[in-house]
Amino acid sequence: MPTMESSTASTAPTARTGLKRHYLMCRPEHFAVTYSINPWMDPSAGADRDEAVRQWEALRSAYAGLGHEVSLIDPIAGLPDMVFAANGALVVGGRVYGARFTHPERHAEGPAYAAWLRANGFGEVLDAEHTNEGEGDFLTMDEVILAGTGFRTRVAAHQEAQEFLGRPVVTLRLVDPRFYHLDTALFALGGDNVAYYPEAFSPGSRAVLERLFPDAVVAGERDAAVLGLNAVCDGRHVVINAEATDLIATLAGHGYEPVPVDMSELRKAGGGPKCCTLELRYP
């Protein structure tokens, strides 16, 4: 298995090209930590809603500054985690595979995102039969969709998504409760490579990742523990948690341009840049 040190090229970094993306986001108007459905959430510690809004606005501004389009879905009172737009659906080739949340606290989010997508030009929307949490556990590459399971999304949902989207789906098993969604342990670097934290995955899934992505960027425990892998890459720029300093340096060494952001308040609910960002992919 490559290490972070060995994955850093000794030659000049490859030139990278960023592509304009279209993202859907939800302002954390009702953000709070009042229940616990993952190891990051501590209701006794609470959260600062105003600080969460400031951090979210900075993330939105970062996307705008990179030339990306950002659309907004209206937040709904009583859904404090609706800010985590990535969980709301999977959108590939103009088709929408809708989310079906595990925990009752979030059940209403799936229909809310599906309704917004239908109202905004996405005519093919599947209301999922099987439990899944959208882009939280589905990561779209050029040739395949990587799909997480172990805590939230069921393997049956991987099969359902493959049939609906007509894309090969590769199942990866998560084993560390801190990394309860795939997007907390792995992100795409363009359409043909990834960065990931190996210890978040079962031995068999690690072997799959090594085979599929021999040139992957491998992150260490310290960066994974601040959700440094909950990042968004447009092929060149990587919007990433500022605390993930080693990973930021490694990415820069590979020719990417890190865009550090502070998401510490939203991390109190287990989220980072990617959790707040649903990519809208068109045909």
Rounded to whole angstroms, how far apart are CA atoms 278 and 210? 27
Sheet-wide strand order for 124-126: 89-92, 95-98, 124-126
Assess contact for 184 and 169: CB atoms under 8 A: no
Residue 181 annotated among the catalytic residues of the structure: yes
* Active site (annotated) includes residue 276: no
**Residue 277 — φ and ψ, nearest 5°?**
-135, 110
Candidates 218, 212, 223; CA nearest to 6 is: 218
Q: How many CA atoms lie within 13 A of 213 on its CB side?
A: 26
Give the Cα separation of 117 and 234 in Å (integer). Answer: 22
Q: Which of 158, 181, 237, 254 is catalytic?
A: 181
Torsion from C-alpha of 14, 15, 19, 23, nearest 10 degrees: 60
Catalytic residues: 181, 275
